[in-house]
């Protein structure tokens, strides 16, 4: 329910004054030389079990592979609806083997791909500002240049029929020639075990894709892939 509502009735993706001044996360190696200010370096966290770190990296890569496969089969996406708004959103569904129905939101934005990359992909903790279904988002661990683990809380919905859920997700970020991608899926982390306050939900492979416009750098296409089991 929350996944469908997030795709079908989102608010503005970028809020007024979206482009922040040096507050976004910059992976250290992949984007070296592009953002060199010391203020942009991620905070050092305590050392973690290397076996878990390898597992997180592998999970992120697996999620990225599934996202790439979904993007490669766009002709097989099933049209569901046009959003009745000024954003030009279109909602599709797609059946993923072993993961079931996936919701896909595709929207054309009047801003650069770089802006969306900096504000949405590099700052997942700001999701609460533009996704009305998210009550909290926290980065638990920066695993390596392209991989983080986050904790998200989904607000209750349908007048209390759907109680609040929480999620622990691994996210992999990649910059490519024509796009930016943040893929992810559910994982576990010692800092956030399940608690009685929330129902622990599960996210299948999904994420955000920002496609650069080849003819106008001030425009981009935003794709949001959602595969959520609310339990």
β-bridge pairing 220-226 and 199-200: unpaired
d(CA 215, CA 213): 6
Cβ(215)–Cβ(196) below 8 Å:
no
- Between 180 and 89, where is the model more confident? 180
pLDDT for res 9: 45
Cβ(169)–Cβ(150) below 8 Å:
yes
List domains and CATH numbers for the chain. Answer: 51-229 (3.30.530.20)
pTM: 0.77
pLDDT for res 98: 86
Q: Convert the pLDDT of each residue in 112-171 to its tens digit.
A: 999 999 999 999 999 999 888 899 999 999 999 899 999 999 987 766 677 899 999 999
Confidence of residue 87 (pLDDT cuts 50, 70, 90): low
């Amino acid at each position: 329910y929350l996944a469908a509502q997030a795709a079908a009735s989102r608010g503005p993706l970028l809020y007024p004054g979206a482009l922040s001044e040096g507050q976004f996360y910059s992976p250290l190696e992949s984007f070296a030389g592009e953002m060199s200010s010391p203020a942009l370096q991620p905070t050092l966290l305590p050392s973690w079990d290397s076996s878990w770190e390898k597992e997180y990296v592998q999970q992120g890569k697996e999620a990225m592979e599934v996202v790439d496969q979904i993007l490669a089969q766009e002709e097989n996406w099933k049209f569901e609806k046009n959003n009745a708004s000024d954003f030009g959103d279109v909602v599709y569904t797609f059946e993923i083997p072993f993961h079931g129905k996936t919701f896909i939101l595709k929207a054309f934005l009047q801003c650069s791909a770089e802006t969306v990359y900096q504000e949405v992909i590099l700052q997942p903790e700001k999701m609460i500002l533009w996704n009305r279904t998210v009550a909290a988002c926290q980065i638990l661990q920066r695993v390596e240049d392209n991989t983080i683990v986050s904790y998200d809380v989904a607000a209750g919905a349908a007048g209390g029929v759907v109680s609040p859920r929480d999620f622990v997700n691994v996210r992999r970020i990649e910059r490519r020639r024509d796009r930016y991608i943040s893929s992810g899926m559910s994982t576990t982390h010692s800092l956030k075990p399940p608690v009685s306050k929330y129902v622990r939900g599960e996210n299948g492979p999904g994420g955000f894709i920002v496609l650069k416009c080849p003819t106008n750098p001030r425009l981009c296409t935003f794709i949001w892939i959602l595969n959520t089991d609310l339990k």
